[in-house]
Structure 1
């Protein structure tokens, strides 16, 4: 539900009464993941629970729940011939719980607390992820906007006040400071992503060395391959270990053929996501197995299932 929390809360504030359907179990192949939700107010739908599959049938269940207030759990799966009649042809098995969005759920959504969706299933509150961008430029502006769409809290740091403005970086925290000085007191943890998009020789290597010495989950830097070689040589001169240098994603971004600032932002975030889930970043058409496996390190953040 957290994925559509803002829209759910806005609908409730506008006076809507909602039935919300949540995928509490997915076995095999399915378009979405456990915890995905869709809501219905009797006239319109919020969200998408299965990429289009089974949603018509789920709306019918939502109508019943809106009518009598009684929660229901419905299942669609590979052994259920009716699954094909409602559009589930991907071979997975879905278990969907439908309930009224009551005061307890609304309160938990608003406070970003864990949600007790039904017996045996708890949806964990989302973990805040922080993107720190060094360098105020058009690439940074595009990256800031795209990252916020993905739910990242964004901080942009640059010593030049002329370029580092709220108007240029709407929604981001603005820091006008010398990057290495500010970084010494910055809050960085294992959920932090650091992208050094400027390559100012006055602080580039020192800043990256500090970032690599931090617990940040991802450290990337923009620049040509020649810039990268100079950067690595400078890191070695500073005594940065080969193990730490191996953490550096430089040149930053996946090879998507990006040329515009917006495309480059997509390429950078694609690498960030792939790194977070230890994914191959290969075309799905060339891979086998489940499309949406749950990484061990993120499993607890998605759901807790009772035996």
Structure 2
């Protein structure tokens, strides 16, 4: 494309040649300039109209702003509602955990009311109106406080249950012989050799020679010997001054210093020492003082709480 430019008197002229590429670039440049000018004018008109309150422009600006605010409020409201539903679910689960904790606390012997600071409060997060951000924040803080309280409660219960388990493992609650029955109880009786009243410091289990003798609880073998009165004898130390004694055995399967587990075979029933027939003489000593083994064996069958109550005072903690 050719353009010839002349002045008003026709004395001077100039020829301009535009190719297709130049025309496209020129068109794009003009279009961009027009768009920028239109955008600037649009922005200036709307700002000026909004500030000065022009009737049409002011109404249009308010409508646009109102629509944007409504969209933002709707977005915030939807998120707050979703958070409220999640908080309600969390609070319901916390109530279930609370109920479970109260049931378990009975087994641990813990009163949950003693560990709570303030009156009990709860309930699902149900509201007939939309909740504000401040109300949701307050609910979150309350849930955090309740969670810390329940954590303390469960920690105490865990400690108490562990303590009961240790006591159960320590106490000689395992019957030392399966195939046999108690033929002589703990207490005063007529001595079969002298015919006089004498204190029987254990329980006799009548059984055939060779019947396995089991450790009533785990511990360390502190005595393995032949005693003039007890015959072949084993003593197991369970800690805290608690010792069990197994006497009149025909054979000993452990030696001093061995570690034994609850229910482990440590000897066999026999008729050695001061004995009138095959049987196991079983004793429980606390700080060297004979105790009635029946209390330990019966408490072991009834559960850890009964076992803890049945322990002598030096072993209760």
What is the TM-score when the length of structure 2 is the normalising length?
0.23
Kindly indicate whether structure 1 or structure 2 has the higher relative contact order, using CA contacts under 8 Å at least 6 residues apart. Answer: 1
